[in-house]
């Protein structure tokens, strides 16, 4: 469903702020009737992870309960009323006034429920959200994985998630209450292509309709429009058409221009019933030979993998952090990021659209293990999450590719059909962007990469292998890149490379964990990657230090950040700036 918007026909109320909170240590709060009234004397901030707000919650990975009251304006009685949670990790259940409304699985995408029938207009309404953050093998991403199924590290770490970032629990993105008319615009899908200097904008609009009237579609600032007559009581109306923009202004990092598609639902008397404005950019992205082309021009991606991670907030979205991060990306000369290892917030992507940051959107499929290939349960869950991600993000011009998995077990025969099914499913939803998955081991035995549009690999030669032997690590990287292209014959992107550095540690000659070693390794390996005619990008791991589970290989946080966790530059940041802003 469309991102909530305040318009002439829609009301929007933020429920961010302080909520009552209770930790359900035995996961039996529903049996105790917590959904009918939470007995709690503790307040907690939303959006933000619960772990860093209270010391006793840092390693709490059970179920948390949130509650607050809200009064709905009387004039909303004729409207549909909806509640949207941007993301809550991991399994969420919503009650309104003690009545269960619905449940959503998944920690990194929004869920929306209509709550009209549960609302009272003569009293405050109690909103209750239960968030189950338990770590389990069948969740995406998984945890508590048996050691005999692991293909890489994470043995014995605490907590026992099978991925290298902290499994923050809680409501991490905004909670919004909004209204729509009874007849309303439900979804808008745009895709663009070029015809000479003109842009062709294909639109598909879905409405829920109970009136006779007209749907008007136009691009503001142009003479492009289309109308469709509507008959009363059409339960699901879908309008498709193509709008042409002459002398189109193309979206790109240098000029991230956004057009506005206005959709209006009018009744027979010409009065507006519903209105929505969808921003979009006119641009094309294709793989052609060994090149990635944006608007027909070759593009090399410089930037980072990064995390939604900040002190105290955990994975909570905050506009000041977004502003700081985008400022630093611009300062260093990065043109792109990958949303490693899950879809990022709507707010991040809206900002990227406006700022011209190129984004590879990634699913939460990190740490796939062999048992996931047995039966259809995980495949079906994976396809559902792909659908949710693509439907939410398809209109964002900043997203130039999809990544469907990171560092899964792609070396067993069962992975072949599994990853082919994910590719086919994603392509059926969006054939306008290239699709990849990310490999972390030698490609010789990989059975999945061949199905994808370009090859993405994570490589740490000189760190996890050839540790401290940077010359040898660089030679291995050079040879392995050539071997990868020789075997697969597709464009190659290095989605992760880098080294840990403890800020303030300086050693000459450079040694592991020093700022000098990180800076030299990152810059030398970037230049090797950039020199290859078949590479399309190099993303350093990572943008900033981030919190992980406790393990002997991590000193409180993962220190591969070019910036510290509180966003101060290390030596490597200054060196990369010199390379990327030449």
Residues classed as catalytic: 407, 496
C-alpha 339/C-alpha 345 separation (Å) is: 10
Cα separation of 158 and 143, whole Å?
11
Let me know if 311 is exposed, middle or buried by CB neighbors in 10 A (0-12, 13-18, 19+).
exposed
CA end-to-end span of the chain, whole Å? 43
- Report which of 407, 462, 399 is spatially closest to residue 435, judged by C-alpha positions: 399
Q: What is the spatial distance between Cα 157 and Cα 435, in angstroms, rounded to a whole number? A: 32
Choose among 176, 182, 180, 396: nearest CA to 275: 180
The two three-digit tokens of residue 138, written as one number: 């069948």
Rg (CA), the chain: 24
Residue 563's contacts (CB-CB under 8 Å, 6 or more residues apart) are 328, 543, 544, 545, 569, 570, 573
In 326-450, beta strands by DSSP E: 336-338, 358-362, 399-406, 435-439
Residue 248 near residue 197 (C-beta atoms within 8 A):
yes
Neighbouring CB atoms inside 10 A of 481's CB total 20
Q: Which two tokens stand for residue 456?
A: 């993405």
**Cβ contact 434:472 at 8 Å:** no
| Cβ–Cβ under 8 Å, residues 312 and 52 | yes
Cα(69)–Cα(128) distance, integer angstroms: 9
Task: With residue 199 as reference, give the H or E element that holds it.
Answer: strand 198-208
Do residues 542 and 560 lie in contact, with contact meaning Cβ atoms separated by under 8 Å?
Answer: yes
Q: Any bridge partners for residue 294, and if so which? A: 285, 297
Strand partners for 74: none
């Amino acid at each position: 469903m469309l991102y909530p918007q305040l318009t002439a026909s829609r009301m929007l109320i933020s429920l961010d702020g302080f909520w009552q909170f209770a930790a359900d240590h035995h996961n039996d709060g529903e049996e105790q009737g917590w959904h009918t009234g939470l007995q709690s004397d503790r307040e907690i901030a939303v959006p933000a992870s619960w772990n860093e707000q209270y010391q006793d919650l840092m390693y709490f990975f059970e179920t948390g309960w949130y509650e607050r009251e809200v009064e709905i304006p009387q004039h909303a009685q004729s409207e549909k009323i909806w509640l949207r949670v941007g993301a809550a990790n991991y399994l969420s259940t919503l009650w309104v006034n003690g009545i269960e409304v619905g449940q959503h699985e998944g920690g990194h995408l929004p869920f929306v429920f209509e709550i009209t029938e549960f609302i009272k207009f003569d009293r405050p309404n109690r909103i209750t959200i239960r968030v189950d953050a338990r770590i389990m093998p069948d969740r995406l991403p998984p945890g508590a994985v048996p050691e005999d199924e692991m293909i890489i590290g994470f043995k014995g770490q605490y907590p026992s998630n099978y991925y290298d970032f902290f499994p923050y629990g809680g409501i991490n993105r905004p909670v919004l209450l909004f209204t729509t008319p009874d007849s309303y615009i439900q979804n808008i899908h745009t895709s663009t292509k070029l015809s000479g200097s003109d842009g062709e904008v294909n639109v598909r609009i879905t409405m829920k309709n109970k009136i006779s009237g007209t749907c008007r579609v136009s691009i503001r600032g142009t003479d492009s429009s289309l109308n469709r007559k509507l008959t009363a009581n059409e339960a699901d109306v879908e309008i498709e058409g193509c709008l042409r923009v002459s002398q189109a202004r193309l979206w790109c990092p240098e000029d991230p221009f956004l057009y506005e598609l206005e959709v209006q639902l009018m009744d027979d008397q010409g009065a507006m019933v519903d209105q929505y404005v969808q921003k979009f950019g006119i641009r094309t992205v294709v793989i052609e030979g060994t090149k990635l082309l944006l608007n027909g021009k070759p593009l090399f991606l410089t930037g980072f993998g990064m995390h939604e991670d900040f002190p105290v907030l955990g994975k909570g979205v905050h506009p000041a952090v977004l502003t700081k991060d985008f400022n630093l990306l611009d300062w260093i000369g990065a043109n792109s990021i990958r949303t490693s290892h899950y879809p990022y917030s709507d707010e991040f992507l809206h900002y990227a659209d406006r700022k011209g940051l190129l984004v590879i959107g990634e699913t939460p499929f990190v740490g796939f293990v062999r048992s996931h290939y047995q039966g259809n349960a995980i495949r079906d869950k994976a396809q559902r999450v792909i659908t949710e991600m693509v439907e939410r993000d398809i209109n964002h011009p900043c997203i130039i590719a999809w990544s469907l998995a990171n560092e899964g077990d792609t070396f067993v025969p069962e992975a072949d059909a599994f990853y082919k099914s994910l590719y086919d499913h994603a392509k059926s939803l969006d054939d306008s962007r290239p699709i990849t998955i990310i490999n972390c081991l030698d490609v010789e035995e990989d059975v999945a990469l061949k199905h994808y549009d370009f090859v993405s690999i994570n490589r740490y030669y000189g760190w996890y292998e050839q540790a401290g032997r940077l010359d040898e690590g660089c030679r291995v990287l050079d040879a392995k890149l050539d071997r990868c292209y020789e075997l697969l014959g597709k464009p190659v992107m290095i989605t992760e490379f880098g080294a840990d550095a403890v800020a303030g540690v300086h050693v000459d000659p450079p040694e592991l964990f020093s700022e000098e070693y990180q800076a030299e390794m990152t810059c030398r390996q970037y230049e090797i990657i950039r020199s290859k005619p078949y590479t399309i990008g190099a993303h350093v791991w990572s943008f900033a230090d981030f919190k992980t589970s406790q393990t002997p290989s991590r000193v409180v946080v993962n220190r591969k950040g070019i910036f510290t966790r509180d966003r101060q530059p290390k030596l490597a940041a200054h060196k990369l700036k010199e390379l990327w802003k030449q």
